[in-house]
Structure 1
Amino acid sequence: MNTTTIPQSEFEERIKRFQANIRKENLDACLVHATESDMAHVRYLSEYWPTFETGAVFVPAEGEPVLLVGPESDLYASHRSFFKNIEKLIEYRESAEPDAPGMSFITYKDLIAKYVPQGIKKLGIVGWAITSLPVYMALKEQLPGVELVKADMTLWPLRFVKSDNELACMRKAFEISELAVEAILNEIKPGMTEFQVIGIAQREIYKHGGEYEGHSLYCFCGESTNNAISRPTHNKIVENEVIQLNIGARVSGYSSSVGLPFSIGPLPERKRRLVEFGLEAHKKTIELLRAGKPAGTVVNEYEAWVKEQGFGQYLLYGPCHSIGMMEVERPWMESTSEYLLEENMTFQVDTFFYDKDFGLRWENGAIVKEGGAELMSSKFMKYTEI
């Protein structure tokens, strides 16, 4: 069972490093946002994970941080987070927007007066893309003299390179994902629905200590495998067709994903060849990863190699995106990427090819090292017919 966690001391060190970045950017404070589905920034700082409602962490450049929750979450937050400062704001209620009669809330104006009595002039917003309109409108109305600044990059870089504790959580998450995939391969049968297959994975994730799925779990069969992003359906599993799995467990906030195509019985040669080439390309990407290498160079070398092999027409994107508290998070690895790969950055090697009537994805987690990459999952790095 999972006993892998992030210690409180590491959370406290994260806040200190974040505050140093806030001061470096000449901000007076940052307001960090999360939703139930994209909880990463707030959980990274506080261990709090909103349920139904949204949430935030208010971090002044100097002083103690404050966890901000909605009407129903104060007791839950006090049990989950180590923060001693927790405040309720109506802006973090759920999207049904209950009036919450009889409850009392503070405002952003009250928050500043209580925790930064000297006042603020520049407030950084972290989680810009998921900050809700009610929050934004309340900030504009209650803090009319305060400049709101997009400040995601005060926090994101702290998450790029993983600590030993983070890596331990991720390795455990991948271990559980492999157990779930193995159970599927042992139990899947023609006639099952995609939903029933995902049920096997969910059973195994919780059985082995995962706290939740790491992402929306994939099982597709047939034509729908050419969807780059999708969800399972009542579609039935059939023989001699590509079946795509992407299975991920979450451990102490950290996600994983193991992706592979397989079949029940042999595939037609055209489909089998693309599946097998996808695995070759997957391994090629892993060969290209090493600390000190420009990220954009990895992408350009990968894409050039795919085209040289004669498979460029099947390429949608690739080959990597970062993974950590979210299955897809910054930094993306794209042809325009200028950053250097650093030791203990973590990426999903994400190899997706598609044709008009099917597609495939090989996916595994990798830790960047000086001499190459350490795979967090390697058990299913082969094409399987069952």
Structure 2
Amino acid sequence: MIKIPHKEFKDRINRMKDQMKREQFDLLIIYGDEYRRENLRYVSNFWPLFERGALVVPYEGEPILLAAPEGENVCKEMSAWPNISLIPDFACVTVPDDIEYPHANYTSFGSLFADIQQKTFVRKVGIVGDDAMSRQVYAAIVDGLAGCEVSDANAILCESRLLKSENEIACLKEAARIADVGYKALLAAAEVGKSELELSAAAHQAAFEAGAEAVPFCLVSSGKRVETIIGRATGKRIEDGDMVMAALAIQYEGYIATINFPFVVGTISERQRQFIDLLLEANDIAISKLRPGGKQSELVKAVKEHFRNRNVSQYDLYPPLHGCGVAEAESPYPNESTEGVFAPGMTVNTDISLFGHPDGSNRIEECFVITKDGYERMSRLVGELSRQWKETGNIDPAIVQ
């Protein structure tokens, strides 16, 4: 089974400690919950369910994972770190009631930080994920850190997550493989009279059977509903000639790959063909800019210039590329003034879209890893669908069997 080994979590913490030294942080607190799991999963492998969690990283000493009672056993099962403490403030994310856990062996932020202070001097503390915390949790942490300077440390993990290891790339490739399986099932289910929910169900079933850990989203919209941009599947039934916008994100061992390819069910019009051709041309332009040392801004400029030349800029709503990893969309997220360059080990998604166009709304999304020689596709399906479309003007049914 493809996994991130324990040693790699240790290496990540050691790199973070190097950054802590540069920033003069004595302690880092990396927060996560069911909804904003990426940072905590990256440093601990733990993904809370219902509850909250955090990894406390002193500059000297081993990390301490903070969890809540219901998730204690799954925390022990998943965690890369053996030192686990329960915090009452982390129990049950979504309700205001006081929930009693009579057998829980709780500590408090104040007691925890006092214990750490006995072993190492703590003056400056960085918090990663403060933008995802509730006001109450943030206040409880700061109260427990009385006398310390508390600062935003989100940049530390953003930098650390930018370049992926061989193990991370392997997990993303596996997520992309599963996404291909799920998307094929979705395409096979796409018939006149089927509901959007049935297409989504086909993708979910196939993806989980193929080994998905989770499906962060499966967007399906058809006909006029494609203009919703990120529309959830509904009971709307697909009619002949409906364009479908379907995006499938698959999570495997914490890593998320997303694919999307535009298609029409039943009779396709010439104007719909031209619209999909337009997206494919822009996607090809974006891919041509994926190379180590290449400016990320040049990719954005090239796609936007293509859309300007085709007089469709008013339908171009957001940047054509973003990173992927433990979040579905993460850095880099370039615009036309971004100074960053592509480097081997970066993993990115092209995200080529036009919404509100009179001939349809849709996107092409596929995932790549930047290599020393150029790039490698992680999704095989999107490239094959693109090739078939260019050759035949349609999707070959044999691809989805």
TM-score, normalised relative to structure 1: 0.94
Structure 2 residue 329 is matched with structure 1 residue 331: no
Partner SS state of residue 129, structure 1? helix
1:128 equivalent in structure 2: 130
2:51 equivalent in structure 1: 53
Pairwise CA distance, 1:269: 2.7
Q: Residues 90 and 336 of structure 1: is their aligned pair in 2 closer, same or farther, counting only changes over 3 Å?
A: farther
* Count of residues in correspondence between the two structures: 383
2:40 equivalent in structure 1: 42
Structure 2 residue 107 is matched with structure 1 residue 109: no
* Superimposed CA distance per residue, residues 334-368 of structure 1 (whole angstroms, 9 cap, x where no aligned partner): 22322221111011100111225631111100112
Whether the 8 Å contact between 2:165 and 2:345 is mirrored in structure 1 is: yes
Q: Following the alignment from structure 2 to structure 1, what is the Cα–Cα distance between the partners of residues 186 and 141?
A: 48
For residues 17-28 of structure 1, the aligned pairs below 5 Å read 17-28=15-26
Partner SS state of residue 230, structure 1? coil
Whether the 8 Å contact between 1:345 and 1:367 is mirrored in structure 2 is: yes
Pairwise CA distance, 1:104: 4.2
**Counterpart AA for 1:204:** A
**Counterpart AA for 1:279:** L
Match of 2:144 among 130, 142, 145: 142
Cα RMSD for the two superposed structures: 1.7
* Superimposed CA distance per residue, residues 181-216 of structure 1 (whole angstroms, 9 cap, x where no aligned partner): 112222322222111111101111111111111x21
The unaligned stretches of length 5 or more in structure 2 are none
2:248 equivalent in structure 1: 247
Partner SS state of residue 379, structure 1? helix
Q: Which aligned segments of 4 or more residues in structure 1 are displaced greater than 3 angstroms?
A: 382-386
Q: Following the alignment from structure 1 to structure 2, what is the Cα–Cα distance between the partners of residues 116 and 13?
A: 24
1:219 equivalent in structure 2: 220
Q: Following the alignment from structure 1 to structure 2, what is the Cα–Cα distance between the partners of residues 154 and 288?
A: 28
* Superimposed CA distance per residue, residues 303-327 of structure 1 (whole angstroms, 9 cap, x where no aligned partner): 1232123332321122101001111
Whether the 8 Å contact between 2:319 and 2:333 is mirrored in structure 1 is: no
Q: Following the alignment from structure 2 to structure 1, what is the Cα–Cα distance between the partners of residues 307 and 371?
A: 24
Q: Following the alignment from structure 2 to structure 1, what is the Cα–Cα distance between the partners of residues 220 and 203?
A: 10
2:291 equivalent in structure 1: 290
Whether the 8 Å contact between 1:60 and 1:116 is mirrored in structure 2 is: no
Q: Following the alignment from structure 1 to structure 2, what is the Cα–Cα distance between the partners of residues 295 and 63?
A: 39
Pairwise CA distance, 1:379: 2.8
1:81 equivalent in structure 2: 79
Whether the 8 Å contact between 1:29 and 1:60 is mirrored in structure 2 is: yes
Specify which structure has the higher proportion of helix.
2
Identical pairs, percent: 28
For residues 1-386 of structure 1, the aligned pairs below 5 Å read 3-94=1-92, 95-101=94-100, 102=102, 103-117=104-118, 118-213=120-215, 215-355=216-356, 358-377=360-379, 378-381=383-386, 382-383=388-389, 384=394
Partner SS state of residue 47, structure 2? coil
Q: Following the alignment from structure 1 to structure 2, what is the Cα–Cα distance between the partners of residues 278 and 307?
A: 13
Pairwise CA distance, 1:241: 1.4
